[in-house]
Structure 1
């Protein structure tokens, strides 16, 4: 039992130490006034519930000139009509019909590539249709790109979570980035494997994007947050992450069913591989769930005193790490005690996708089905 408790403590300390470093390094960039145009590009498919607020927030950008392009990807609701109505009063906004989806492309990548081809800005700021930009966001991201020489800058918006299902799933985004990505090493190296982004909020330099092949080079992917920064790094360009909670807000999913489906969509290009998932299971279960189980067993006298003390230390480290990330990312405080359950849900999603992939070989999103994996 002591060996098991020591393992739990070691696995809890790993993300704790990385988070202590990363939360210091990941800062909100300061905006600077600029004259170069930033193109805010919004792919949209049946987003009538979101698109008006998203577009108005983008048009309220300050500090840099912007144009806003909305790619209507064959919506069957009122998305296009809402955009046209706003565009009638603001020439900076354009509605861009997206052509039919070609074979071998995923929908978002096709829409983003089409929008990029129509954009005029030196920087392209891709945002999801449920992301609300703060007025300084475009200026801050563009300024950080100039200061650091980064071809891509991304951050995780402040996540709105209004249901228990969302609070059991969405907080894992920041926990995994802050607790397991070595940001200092990422900034010191161009290794593609260290590239990371949040697909909700990605600013790229137009020239570097075009030279690397843009979304067309990852046309098969459902997880541009993983593959776009790696693409740019393979082409010799720096990419970076910043704290995004003060730059934008987003409500990714409305409830547990949407969250399960959404995270399942991306899983096979993240953790859910036969080689990676056993390692991630050891890291996450061992460091974030096992301490709770050992302490619970100790309450029934099943864990001796020394091992129980070590397990309690591991639990405190785990909870403190989650609390620090929650506070700094401005996530709901109620997600902190839910942390071990959130880890179990995340692992359940990944294992379900890995096991189901062998049977189905496809992923579905927004009414479309895609073959899994790169060509």
Structure 2
């Protein structure tokens, strides 16, 4: 029985490796995309909740953008630290930076989604860029992305940035998450007009106002913790043209400062990413364990056939993980040798997030709490 299981598992990973090798080659890096100056105004909308550590660097990197006209709309969302003071100081010195403050959250909204919704109301351009308050842009990042968008004639372009991390285990956890994200979401399919697979990366989503308005904007996503991915999916489902690219050299974000923050942050999206399904939650945890952890046991303690099949399976997993790490990160490739530890860490993080969410019956994010039942009902009504 185990031999049949591992034959099937071996076939699965062969398929994944082939998919990765073909798929990732279809994802373009825009780090060196040609620059062509444009006078087109782009409205950058940024939500900021207690972002005093990063917000100034983000704003200054946007102000320094070359060959493109920008207005930067920064929405202070009920911050309790120095975020408002920093925003007000920068906006007082630069005429293309607009600051606005939200003092209360209406019922039926997630804070970030409401902040983006309010920011769009102040935007003047037909091009909207949604980004986060901790993203740092090289001075030619936006014009390269805009030129790529215009060249390919798409309505929505989303860019995967470099995810900066300080420790070995945090880099491992991030790279392992990107590995799992890749074989679950197959982001390269976003570039195929015939595919309904959409993608959205919160660090960079540039979209035409017509497309954004037509799909319902953030009002339609008001209770989606995975608003970035959901927006990308809405674009594709509505038959608009989409493009997914990377910019690991020119766009950088510190996703989480340490492992503890990563564990906390994952609580917000874990259950939403599994479509609020208990079955999917159990399947995700047991699937990682059975396909990536259990083979180590049979590698040492199984029959000779089981050892061979397990060894081949682990080799294929390592190959797929190496491909995603190469295309999605700037981490040294030798980090892939730690993937057995990272898979255990990921199983722990996922299990912890799901158990906390299900026992609390709510998610907690940036000092706000949201009912799990309300989130599930909204998801079912809007998917």
Which TM-score applies when normalising by structure 1? 0.90
**2:176/2:342 contact within 8 Å kept:** yes
Counterparts in 2 of 1:322-341, with a 5 A limit?
A: 322-333=321-332, 335-341=335-341
User: How far apart are the structure 1 equivalents of 2:201 and 2:302?
Assistant: 41
**Partners of 1:32 and 1:370 in 2: CA distance:** 44
Equivalents in 1 of 2:180, 2:295: separation in Å? 18
- Would you say 1:80 and 2:84 are equivalent positions? yes
CA distance in 2, matches of 1:256, 1:14: 32
RMSD across aligned positions (CA)? 2.3
Moved more, 361-370 or 205-214: 205-214
User: 1:259 aligned to 262, 269, 293, which one?
Assistant: 262
Residues 321 and 200 of structure 1, relative CA distance in 2, 3 Å threshold: same
In the other structure, the counterpart of 1:12 is: 13
Are residue 364 (structure 1) and residue 364 (structure 2) matched?
Answer: yes
Paired with 1:35 and 1:78, the residues of 2 have a C-alpha distance of: 34
Checking the alignment, whether the CA contact within 8 Å between 1:165 and 1:255 is kept in structure 2 is no
Shift of 1:291: 3.1
Name the structure, 1 or 2, with higher relative contact order (CA <8 Å, separation 6+).
1
Counterparts of 1:167 and 1:182, CA distance in 2: 21
Q: Quote how far apart the aligned CAs of 1:125 are.
A: 1.2
C-alpha distance in structure 1 between counterparts of 2:288 and 2:359, whole Å: 26
1:91–1:258 distance in 2 versus 1, CA, 3 Å: same
The correspondence of residues 196-211 of structure 1 with structure 2, limited to 5 A, is 196-211=199-214
Deviations 1:83-103 (A, max 9, x none): 222233321212121252100
Structure 1 residues 118 and 190, CA gap change in structure 2 (3 angstroms) = farther
Change (3 A) 1:356 1:214: same
Check conservation: 2:67, 2:140, Cα contact below 8 A. Answer: yes
Aligned pairs (5 A) from 1:95-110: 95-110=99-114
- Whether the 8 Å contact between 1:196 and 1:229 is mirrored in structure 2 is yes
Q: Offset at 1:356? A: 4.0
Match of 2:294 among 262, 272, 290: 290
Contact 1:128/1:199, CA 8 A, preserved across alignment: yes
**Is the contact between residue 152 and residue 202 of structure 1 (CA under 8 Å) also seen in structure 2?**
yes
**Number of residues of Structure 1 aligned to a counterpart in Structure 2:** 369
Distance 1:131 1:207 in 2: 25
SS at match of 1:88: helix
Q: Deviations over 1:135-176 (max 9, x none)?
A: 222122222322333222112210111124523432234213
For residues 79 and 164 of structure 2, what CA distance do their matches in structure 1 show?
Answer: 25
Unaligned runs of 5+ in 2: 379-383
Question: Which residue of 210, 220, 237 maps to 1:234?
Answer: 237
Question: CA contact under 8 A between 2:129 and 2:205: conserved in structure 1?
Answer: yes
Deviates more, 1:203-212 or 1:105-114: 203-212
Q: CA deviation at 1:234?
A: 3.2
CA contact (8 A) 1:233 1:239 kept: yes
Greater Cα offset, 4-13 or 103-112: 4-13
Deviation at 1:114, TM superposition (A): 0.8
Query: Contact 2:54–2:133 (CA<8 Å) still a contact in 1?
Result: yes
Deviation, structure 1 residue 54: 0.7
> Quick check: 1:9–1:287 contact (8 Å CA) kept in 2?
no
Q: What aligned pairs does 1:121-200 form with structure 2 within 5 A after superposition?
A: 121-183=125-187, 185-189=189-193, 194-200=197-203
Q: 1:177 to 1:307 in 2, by over 3 A?
A: same
Match of 1:3 in 2: 4
TM-score (norm 2): 0.88
Contact 1:64 1:138 in 2 (8 A): yes
- CA change 1:357–1:83 in 2 (3 A) is closer
Q: Do the aligned partners of residues 165 and 371 (structure 1) sit closer, same or farther apart at CA in structure 2, a change above 3 Å counting?
A: farther
1:169-197 deviations in whole A, cap 9, x for unaligned? 322342134333344544335665x2121
Deviations 1:317-355 (A, max 9, x none): 211222222223333236412222323333333334444
Whether 1:57 and 2:61 are equivalent positions in the alignment is yes
Q: Contact (CA 8 Å) 1:154, 1:241: kept in 2 or not?
A: yes
Task: State the distance in 2 between where 1:201 and 1:259 align.
Answer: 20
CA 1:285 to 1:360, structure 2 compared with 1: closer, same or farther past 3 Å? same
